[in-house]
Structure 1
Amino acid sequence: MNIEETFIKDLVVLTPDFFEDSRGYFFEGYNKNKLSTLGISVDFVQDNQSFSKKDTIRGLHYQNPPYAQTKLVRVLQGEIMDVVVDLRKASPTYGQHFGICLTADNKKQLLVPQGFAHGFSVLSETAVVLYKCDQFYNKASEGGICFDDVALNIDWGMDLKVAIVSEKDLVLPDFQNCNSKF
């Protein structure tokens, strides 16, 4: 497994070693021992999977402490622009965002620590996204930021005029007014 650090502390991209032959391919999408040797010790307790159509934007979502979640995000089918925003007030990158194209073909995974808002846009016709979480979902602690916050100026890799967004996500506050407790 290869680990690639980003400009945001603790936010890393993981690329598994994969083996391909005439039958197809094989790789370990998650191996607790291998991650531990890379200095990543997370006890995942829940897997979430979503299916979305082209031009869908999901997010930006987070859970406040004590139910904050670390997520390990990967794409099983299709292509997404995965985006996170640093909500940690003591962080030198507070308020900055990072985006990466995750695809079924590149097999890259994004390890999103607690203290980040997370979302993605679907760039392919459809996408299936799987992410592991180290905390169970808690409705009372959920929060979010509007995907089109002018101050964040996130490039979702698509025309926002055609974005398919849930009613819940359409009424999220901007970054400055979110209820983050980090």
Structure 2
Amino acid sequence: MNVIDTELPGVRIVEPKVFGDERGFFMESWNRERYLAAGLPGDFVQDNLSCSRRGVLRGLHFQNPNAQGKLVYVLQGEVFDVAVDIRRGSPTFGRWVGVLLSSDNRRQLWVPPGLAHGFCVTSETALFAYKVTDRYNPAVEGTVAWDDPDIGIDWPLSVAPELSAKDREGIRLRDLAEDRLLSYAD
């Protein structure tokens, strides 16, 4: 397994070992011992799966309290996956990192608690899987605007994305109350 640090502290790209031949391939999508040894979390409470079509954008979501760390990857198709640092006091506050995740490259992205997360589908459809470190709590979920000009995410979209009602109502990062954000020190 290869783990690559990104420019956002704690956000890491994981490249699992893949064993393949003419029949197909085998890989461990998660192994507690190996991930702990690589400095990644070992305790997840829930696995989630979403299916979306091309042009769907989900995010940018976060929770506080019940901040969720997410290990995300694609089972079928391709997405452009984004993490935005929204931790109070972080040296990279308001910056983002984007990674293509696909069933071909089999990469994973670790998004630590306290960051906003989202993705857009760049293939016809995508099956997107993620493991989370805390339960989903809709009462404390927040949504940062996917098109916040202060963040300036360069989404690979040629037309306006398809958004949920919740995502259409996302707010700019600068308008979030400070108590909604996790502290970088935490």
TM-score range, shorter chain: over 0.9
Q: Distance in 2 between matches of 1:86 and 1:107?
A: 24
- Deviation sequence 1:26-67 (CA, Å, 0-9, x none): 0000000001111223310101110000011000000012x0
The residue matched to 2:181 in structure 1 has which SS?
coil
Q: Return the letter of the residue paired with 1:56.
A: V
Q: Which residue of 2 aligns with 1:141?
A: 140
Q: Which residue of 2 aligns with 1:162?
A: 160
Please report how far the alpha carbon of residue 162 of structure 1 lies from its aligned counterpart in structure 2 after TM superposition: 2.9
The residue matched to 2:81 in structure 1 has which SS?
strand
Percent of aligned pairs with the same amino acid: 44
Structure 1 gap ranges (5+): none
Q: What is the number of equivalent residue pairs in this alignment?
A: 180
- Map 1:21-170 → 2, pairs under 5 A: 21-65=21-65, 67-159=66-158, 161-170=159-168
Contact 2:59/2:146 (CA < 8 Å) preserved in 1?
yes
Q: Which residue of 1 aligns with 2:7?
A: 7
Q: Distance in 1 between matches of 2:172 and 2:42?
A: 30
Q: Return the letter of the residue paired with 1:88.
A: R
- Deviation sequence 1:119-172 (CA, Å, 0-9, x none): 00000000010000010001111001111111111111112x431111111011
Return the TM-score normalized by structure 1.
0.96
Return the TM-score normalized by structure 2.
0.94
The residue matched to 1:52 in structure 2 has which SS?
strand
- Structural RMSD (CA): 1.0
